[in-house]
Amino acid sequence: MLTAFRTVLIEWGDCDPAGIVYFPRYVAWFDNCTHELFRRAGFEKYEMRQKFDMVGIPMVDIRAKFYIPSRYGEFVDIESRVTAFRRSSFDVHHRMLKGDKLAAEGFETRVWVVADPDNPAHIRSQPVPREIIERMQADD
């Protein structure tokens, strides 16, 4: 299974007054990591939009688990991979590590969407292209 890796330096602005990461920052990092996963598979977002005539991959469900706090000045490593594909949706699992310790996990469900041909101001789901699925399921 294809895995993306990203190292993040926790900045002053990422933290709350207690000096630990403010929870919305995790969502932003996980979102960036999902796009890095697609880039690593050979699909830059702009190119995907052109090639597959898609609008995007909006998040329809997200949850996180926090195990140990992360603080200003620390480096964390995030591993991301797609864990399941369905017709038009897929799940992404993110693992945030501080050294060898699991600090947090993120779980996303996203949907492959295109412009609705009956109403271009709206979007509708469409099956995830086979090429995307094959690249994401390939060994690193």
For residue range 72-111, what is the model confidence (pLDDT) as tens digits? 999 999 999 999 999 999 999 999 999 999 999 999 999 9
* Average predicted confidence (pLDDT) for the chain: 95
Per-residue model confidence (pLDDT) at position 35:
95
Strand order across the beta sheet in which 89-98 lies? 4-9, 75-85, 89-98, 101-111, 59-66
Q: How far apart are CA 104 and CA 101, in angstroms?
A: 9
Q: How far apart are CA 114 and CA 110, in angstroms?
A: 13
Per-residue model confidence (pLDDT) at position 6:
96
Q: What is the pLDDT of residues 53-80, one digit of tens each?
A: 999 999 999 999 999 999 999 999 999 9
Pick the closest to residue 65 from 110, 30, 17 (CA basis). 30
Q: Which two tokens stand for residue 113?
A: 């969407």
> Is 125 a residue whose pLDDT tops 90?
yes
Global pTM value: 0.93
Domain 4-137 has CATH 3.40.50.970: no
Per-residue model confidence (pLDDT) at position 65:
97
Q: What is the DSSP letter of 71?
A: B
Instruction: Classify 109 as helix, strand or coil.
Output: strand
Per-residue model confidence (pLDDT) at position 139:
78
With the CA atoms of 115, 119, 124 and 127 taken in that order, what torsion angle do they form, in degrees rounded to the nearest 10? Answer: -60
How far, in Å, are 33, 108, 121 from residue 63 at the CA level?
15, 7, 29
Using 50, 70 and 90 to split pLDDT, how confident is the model at 42?
very high
For the chain, give every domain's residue range: 4-137
Residue percentage of the chain with pLDDT more than 70? 99
